[in-house]
């Protein structure tokens, strides 16, 4: 007895080996390179989501079985306790249909559908339908599936190689009483997974152990290499019954498996299935019995098929098992002793425990795979189980559950009895319908933010017009871009020397810097700097308080650097629009971004700074230049690249400066040479010229800002606003039921929860969904996998629009420079700074791509500023000092 059963005993260690071989086989099935030869096929099922409980409406199901067709209408309430009601009717499928011409079969399916619907007497005539077609197919979409070959009882002419959805849809369309759209073809395993109630948490694995065995699970789409999708999840049907067909299970096969396989219809195939599923368990036991009772052979015992799987499962039961064993042995013509019955029970237990063990190893492989690929430390999931083997006896499930725990200790797996595949097919249809409706809504919403090349060309042309208006004295007031002269007429030439102080105010950080400018041979420019914070109440309080704070920071810096008492020349990067009449004077025209300190607009900022120094009375300052950050950036980059004639900032705010011909600057006297113009393009559109481009989200963001109606272009592009645009879109999508299951959380209603760094991190390449979820969780948003995919899509659309608009604006600038110089081709460098441009994974590349398209005659190099604009301000101060020295001499 012991010897007979030994080959069936698989130790835990062996099951671990089975698990790891299954994992390898699954990997081969998922990889594009090895998919076609893989034994475990891993077929994509094009199911992108499991039910989330919000599905609602009435859905039709056609479930074609071997002998019957079941037609079903499922109604989902879609409310908190998702009620499901089903009405169904079965139609026998006659042989003449199952083996007749294809058209007849599909006409039959359609006729049964009308009969069923007519019987319901419903006013509704529009339906969506899910079709269960249990034959080997090559599925290419949820609603596209090509029959490879008929099996079982079916053999209809003219169907193989064709898309069964088209055939069914054509048959349905032959009448016009009902409008029915076939939206899903479903495999029975996925039906099992989808039938489970969503309220107990996600059920992302389906397991069927019936006559055959199969499983499915929700994989990360990017790991399913045979489909194009890389976002979100994708249902995969493993087809694991054929695991081992390449010999992977050879060292575990018992002599009974070999006998069974040899005698089967398909020797060498479906090796895993033959050790597990209902079609074979009885036969394995039979092979063992023929060995055990070889001395007492009876005609019944000699007959294959004389032992039923159903009985085997019952015999394993502690209570009724021995009695069933006796009955079965008697039926085999054996006069069974108590010992015989006991032995029979041992055999059945061994066969079933092995089957449960192998099934557990397979399931453990699936959940471990999910856990690893989702980069989780623990995975919690329900597994929907179905099939005769589960239904017949609780023991199988218990053993399976215990072993999975041991084989995949990192996963919490709960087995749930599925509620029948018809419900699951209905759910697949309902989920597909929900996703399609949501997609439509999402597309409509996001279409507002998608700009065609022609639209971008219009933006470019509009900016060009505004630039011209802004440059001319008479029309300057009409233009939304100020085109402010900066009194900087040359980029650095490398001869600048000396030690300078610099301030950098208006970006993410306020910095005080000591900049030592030496000869290039002696290391060029060296910078020591300190970052100070400007709290919002200071940025938006009385101006005197803001400038006092700045002076205190300078004093602190000087003390730390042991520079108290020294008066170095100072370059002041002040990143707000200023009207300059000289290099060291700048009248603040308006605050922008997060600043709104009172009493400053209309004042000379240098004067405000000097007054604050006076109030403090502890040191002297020698402010020699006030520069915009775009200008500081251009100068800083110009030190390395003499071709750098444009400065660009895409950070908290956005703006650009460039070298304009003095003769074009109507607001200044002088004809010769060039001057750097601070465009203040953030205000582009403030005169209404961009109104056609604003979406409702842009208008909301503008209205809620510190400066409504102003900096409209900046509010489409820069880091301070993109997160808010995203949040407003998410609110709308939630309201439309496309996100967060339609529930608004207080968190999402909190302004400014998304900052630039969030936009940058959420779009990072290769970020697993879990990381996307983690970023959102960190913000206090509880998201599903689909939510996080959609949030990421919204971020992408908003950031892409920003980058393209920025690109269109850069194109307008470089084209103007080219035309100013009457060049066929212009080679120019743009010095760039700003956290959005630097940290966002795609922004820079999208800006550059747009410039390439819109300014094809300019070859534009983008040079990122590494040391901030303070360095540029110091270089400007250096030039100013040199000029002043010359003038004195």
Task: Give the residue numbers annotated as catalytic, written as ranges.
Answer: 511, 575, 629
Q: Quote the tokens at residue 292.
A: 């055990």
Q: Please, what is the angle between helix 785-820 and helix 769-778, to 10°?
A: 90
The option from ligand BG6, ligand GLC, none interacting with 278 (CB < 5 to 8 A, set by class) reads none
Name which of 154 and 684 has its Cβ closer to ligand GLC: 684
- Contact range with ligand GLC by CB under 6 A, out of 79-87, 531-539, 574-582, 609-617: 574-582
x/- binding map, residues 241-280, to ligand BG6, per CB under 6 A?
----------------------------------------
CB of 839 to ligand BG6, least distance (A): 9
The string of DSSP letters for 67-113 reads: SEEEEEEEEE--STT--EEEEEEEEE--HHHHTSBHHHHHHHHHHHH
**CA separation for the pair 114, 121 (Å, rounded):** 11
486 binds ligand BG6, rule: CB under 6 A: no
Name which of 584 and 714 has its Cβ closer to ligand GLC: 714
User: According to CB under 6 A, which residues from 615 to 644 bind ligand BG6?
Assistant: 629, 632
Name which of 612 and 836 has its Cβ closer to ligand GLC: 836
Give the residue at shortest CB distance from ligand BG6: 651
506 binds ligand GLC, rule: CB under 6 A: yes
Exactly one of 50, 422, 592, 788 binds ligand GLC (CB under 6 A); that residue is 592
Distances from the Cα of 499 to the Cαs of 560, 691, 779, in angstroms? 16, 48, 44
User: According to CB under 6 A, which residues from 686 to 725 bind ligand GLC?
Assistant: 714
Exactly one of 39, 277, 705, 869 binds ligand BG6 (CB under 6 A); that residue is 869
User: According to CB under 6 A, which residues from 145 to 184 bind ligand GLC?
Assistant: none
The option from ligand GLC, ligand BG6, none interacting with 577 (CB < 5 to 8 A, set by class) reads ligand GLC
Exactly one of 547, 576, 595, 693 binds ligand GLC (CB under 6 A); that residue is 576
Exactly one of 649, 748, 806, 879 binds ligand BG6 (CB under 6 A); that residue is 649
Neighbouring C-beta atoms of residue 587, cutoff 10 Å: 17
Q: Which residue, 217, 198, 196, is CA-closest to 207?
A: 217
Exactly one of 833, 847, 863, 878 binds ligand BG6 (CB under 6 A); that residue is 833
- Contact range with ligand BG6 by CB under 6 A, out of 290-298, 658-666, 809-817, 833-841: 833-841
User: According to CB under 6 A, which residues from 622 to 651 bind ligand GLC?
Assistant: 628-630, 649, 651
Give the residue at shortest CB distance from ligand GLC: 653
CB of 637 to ligand BG6, least distance (A): 11
Name which of 575 and 590 has its Cβ closer to ligand BG6: 575
Cβ burial, residue 609 (10 Å; 0-12/13-18/19+): buried
**CA separation for the pair 183, 433 (Å, rounded):** 8
The option from ligand BG6, ligand GLC, none interacting with 576 (CB < 5 to 8 A, set by class) reads ligand GLC
760 binds ligand BG6, rule: CB under 6 A: no
The option from ligand BG6, ligand GLC, none interacting with 833 (CB < 5 to 8 A, set by class) reads ligand BG6
- Torsions phi, psi of 38, nearest 5? -70, 145
Name which of 392 and 676 has its Cβ closer to ligand GLC: 676
The string of DSSP letters for 562-620 reads: T-TT---EEEEEE-S-EEEEETTEEEE----TT---BT-TTSBHHHHHHHHHHHH-S--
- Residues 264/295, Cβ–Cβ less than 8 Å: no
| CA angle (865 as vertex; 861, 869 as ends), nearest 5 | 130
Name which of 646 and 689 has its Cβ closer to ligand BG6: 646
680 binds ligand BG6, rule: CB under 6 A: no
Cβ burial, residue 10 (10 Å; 0-12/13-18/19+): buried
575 binds ligand GLC, rule: CB under 6 A: yes
The option from ligand GLC, ligand BG6, none interacting with 215 (CB < 5 to 8 A, set by class) reads none
**CA separation for the pair 713, 560 (Å, rounded):** 40
**CA separation for the pair 461, 458 (Å, rounded):** 5
Exactly one of 507, 569, 632, 719 binds ligand GLC (CB under 6 A); that residue is 507
Exactly one of 655, 664, 734, 829 binds ligand GLC (CB under 6 A); that residue is 655
The option from ligand GLC, ligand BG6, none interacting with 628 (CB < 5 to 8 A, set by class) reads ligand GLC
**CA separation for the pair 772, 722 (Å, rounded):** 18
Sign of CA dihedral 87, 93, 97, 98: positive
Exactly one of 19, 395, 423, 593 binds ligand GLC (CB under 6 A); that residue is 593
From edge to edge, which strands make up the β-sheet containing 644-650? 484-485, 674-678, 654-661, 644-650, 826-833, 858-864
Name which of 261 and 629 has its Cβ closer to ligand GLC: 629
Strands 126-132 and 57-64: parallel
Alpha-carbon radius of gyration of the chain: 37
Q: Is 656 helix (H, G, I), strand (E, B) or coil?
A: strand
The option from ligand BG6, ligand GLC, none interacting with 655 (CB < 5 to 8 A, set by class) reads ligand GLC
Q: DSSP label at 744?
A: P
CB of 575 to ligand BG6, least distance (A): 4
The option from ligand BG6, ligand GLC, none interacting with 630 (CB < 5 to 8 A, set by class) reads ligand GLC
- Torsions phi, psi of 180, nearest 5? -120, 130
Name which of 235 and 506 has its Cβ closer to ligand GLC: 506
Name which of 543 and 719 has its Cβ closer to ligand BG6: 719
User: How many alpha carbons lie under 13 Å from residue 556 in its C-beta half-sphere?
Assistant: 13
834 binds ligand BG6, rule: CB under 6 A: yes
Exactly one of 239, 283, 504, 645 binds ligand BG6 (CB under 6 A); that residue is 504
Q: Which residue, 262, 227, 296, 305, is CA-closest to 29?
A: 227
Name which of 332 and 463 has its Cβ closer to ligand GLC: 463
What b/e sequence results for 21-52 when a residue is b if at least 16 CB atoms lie within 10 Å of its CB, and e otherwise? bbbebbbbbbeeeebeebbbbbbbbbbbbbbb
Exactly one of 343, 433, 486, 575 binds ligand BG6 (CB under 6 A); that residue is 575
First to last CA, the chain: 114
Question: In the complex, which residues of this chain contact ligand BG6 (CB under 6 A)?
Answer: 504, 506-508, 573, 575, 629, 632, 649, 651-652, 719, 833-835, 868-870
Question: In the complex, which residues of this chain contact ligand GLC (CB under 6 A)?
Answer: 506-507, 575-577, 592-593, 628-630, 649, 651-655, 680, 682, 714
């Amino acid at each position: 007895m012991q010897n007979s059963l030994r080959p069936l005993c698989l130790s835990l260690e062996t099951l671990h080996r089975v698990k790891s071989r299954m994992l390898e086989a699954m990997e081969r099935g998922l990889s594009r390179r090895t998919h076609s030869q893989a034994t475990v096929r891993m077929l994509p099922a094009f199911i992108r989501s499991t039910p989330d409980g919000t599905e609602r409406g009435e859905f039709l199901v056609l479930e074609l079985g071997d002998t019957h067709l079941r037609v079903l209408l499922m109604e989902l309430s879609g409310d908190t306790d998702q009620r499901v009601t089903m009405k169904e009717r079965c139609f026998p499928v006659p042989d003449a249909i199952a083996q007749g011409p294809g058209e007849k079969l599909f006409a039959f399916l359609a006729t049964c559908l009308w009969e069923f619907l007519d019987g319901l007497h419903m006013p509704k005539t529009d339906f969506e339908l899910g079709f269960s077609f249990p034959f080997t197919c090559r599925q290419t979409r949820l609603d596209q599936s090509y029959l490879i070959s008929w099996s079982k009882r079916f053999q209809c002419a003219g169907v193989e190689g064709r898309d069964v959805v088209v055939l069914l849809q054509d048959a349905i369309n032959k009448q016009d009483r009902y409008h029915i759209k076939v939206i899903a073809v479903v495999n029975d395993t996925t039906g099992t997974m989808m039938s489970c109630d969503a309220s107990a948490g996600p059920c992302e694995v389906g397991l069927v152990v019936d006559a055959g065995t199969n499983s499915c699970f929700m994989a990360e789409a990017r790991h399913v290499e045979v489909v194009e999708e890389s976002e979100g999840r994708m249902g995969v049907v493993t087809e694991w019954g054929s695991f081992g067909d390449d010999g992977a299970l050879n060292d575990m096969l018992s002599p009974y498996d070999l006998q069974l396989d040899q005698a089967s219809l398909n020797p060498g195939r479906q090796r895993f299935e033959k050790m597990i599923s209902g079609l074979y368990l009885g036969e394995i036991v039979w092979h063992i019995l023929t060995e055990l009772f070889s001395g007492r052979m009876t005609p019944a015992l000699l007959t294959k098929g004389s032992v039923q799987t159903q009985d085997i499962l019952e015999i394993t039961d502690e209570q009724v098992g021995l009695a069933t064993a006796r009955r079965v042995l008697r039926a085999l013509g054996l006069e069974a002793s108590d010992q015989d019955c006991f032995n029979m029970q041992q055999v059945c237990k061994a066969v079933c425990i092995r089957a449960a063990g192998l099934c557990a190893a397979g399931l453990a492989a699936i959940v471990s795979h999910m856990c690893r690929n989702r980069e989780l430390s623990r995975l919690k999931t329900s597994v929907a189980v179905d099939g005769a083997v589960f239904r017949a006896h609780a023991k199988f499930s218990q053993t399976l559950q215990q072993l999975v725990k041991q084989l995949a200790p990192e996963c919490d797996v709960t087995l749930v009895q599925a509620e029948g595949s018809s419900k699951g097919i209905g759910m697949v249809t309902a989920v597909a319908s929900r996703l399609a409706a949501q997609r439509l809504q999402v597309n409509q919403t996001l279409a507002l933010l998608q700009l065609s090349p022609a639209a971008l060309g219009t933006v470019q042309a509009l900016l060009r017009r505004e630039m011209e208006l802004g440059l001319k004295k008479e029309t300057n007031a009409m233009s939304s871009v100020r085109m402010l002269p900066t009194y900087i007429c040359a980029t650095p030439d490398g001869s600048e020397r000396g030690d300078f102080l610099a301030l950098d105010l208006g970006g993410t950080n306020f910095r005080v810097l000591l900049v030592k400018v030496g000869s290039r041979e002696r290391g060029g420019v060296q910078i020591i700097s300190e970052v100070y914070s400007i709290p919002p109440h200071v940025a938006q309080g009385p101006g005197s308080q803001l400038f006092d704070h700045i002076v205190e920071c300078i004093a602190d810096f000087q003390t730390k650097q042991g520079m108290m008492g020294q008066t170095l020349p100072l370059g002041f990067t002040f990143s707000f629009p200023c009207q300059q009449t000289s290099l060291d004077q700048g009248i603040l025209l308006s605050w922008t971004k997060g600043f709104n300190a009172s009493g400053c607009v209309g004042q000379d900022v240098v004067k405000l700074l000097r007054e604050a120094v006076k109030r403090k009375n502890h040191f002297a300052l020698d402010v020699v230049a006030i520069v915009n950050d775009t200008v500081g950036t251009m100068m800083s980059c110009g030190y390395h690249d003499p071709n750098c004639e444009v400065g660009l900032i895409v950070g908290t705010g956005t703006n650009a400066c460039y070298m304009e011909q003095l003769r074009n600057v109507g607001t200044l006297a002088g004809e010769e040479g060039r001057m750097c113009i601070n465009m203040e393009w953030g205000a582009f559109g403030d005169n209404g010229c961009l109104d056609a481009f604003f979406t409702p989200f842009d208008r909301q963001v503008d209205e809620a800002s510190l400066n409504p109606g102003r900096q409209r272009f900046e509010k489409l592009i820069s880091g301070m606003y993109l997160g808010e645009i995203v949040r407003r879109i998410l609110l709308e999508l939630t309201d439309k039921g496309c996100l967060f299951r339609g529930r608004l959380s207080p968190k999402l209603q909190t302004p400014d929860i998304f900052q630039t760094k969030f936009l940058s991190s959420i779009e990072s390449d290769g970020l697993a969904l879990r990381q996307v979820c983690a970023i959102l969780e960190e913000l206090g948003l509880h998201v599903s996998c689909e939510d996080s995919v959609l949030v990421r899509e919204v971020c992408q659309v908003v950031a892409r629009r920003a980058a393209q608009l920025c690109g269109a604006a850069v194109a307008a600038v470089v084209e103007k420079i080219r035309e100013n110089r009457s060049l066929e081709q212009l080679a120019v460098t743009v010095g760039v700074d700003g956290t959005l441009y630097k940290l966002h994974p795609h922004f820079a590349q999208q800006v550059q791509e747009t410039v390439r398209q819109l300014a094809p005659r300019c070859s534009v190099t983008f040079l990122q500023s590494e040391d901030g604009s303070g360095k540029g301000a110091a270089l400007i101060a250096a030039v100013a000092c040199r000029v002043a020295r010359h003038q004195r001499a």
